[in-house]
Amino acid sequence: MPILADRVCGRPPGASAITSPNGALLGLENWKRSTGWRTAIVEIGRPKMRVHDLRHTYASLARRAGADLRLLQKTMGHASITVTAHVYADLYDDELDVVVSALDALDDRPSE
């Protein structure tokens, strides 16, 4: 967080936090070079990992942490919630077990 705070301090709202050394938008290939992306993914044993895979990781972990589809739609920039739902709605089938257990708990009849 301190690194990001330094990058956004004094910038107008909506301005990019990550830019090239001259302040322009940072292109993907320049970012990969400046961060040592290719070396890093080889070192962690994921030589085919794409930067886009980090996007899916974020969304999957956010869903697992309880983020609803509307939040994901907004943060992922999807124009339609249908796109978000198609990719992330059924990500964790065990969530159905939680819902079933909660519904069962609503039944106050003694079990037989």
- Least confident residue range of 54-58, 76-80, 96-100: 96-100
Q: What pLDDT is attached to residue 110?
A: 59
> 16 or 58, which is more confident?
58
Q: List the domain boundaries for the chain.
A: 1-48, 50-107
Residue 100 has pLDDT above 90, yes or no: no
DSSP-derived secondary structure for 13-39: TT--SSB-TTSSBPPHHHHHHHHTHHH
Q: What pLDDT is attached to residue 43?
A: 95
> What mean pLDDT comes out for the span 73-98?
83
- Least confident residue range of 52-66, 69-83, 98-112: 98-112
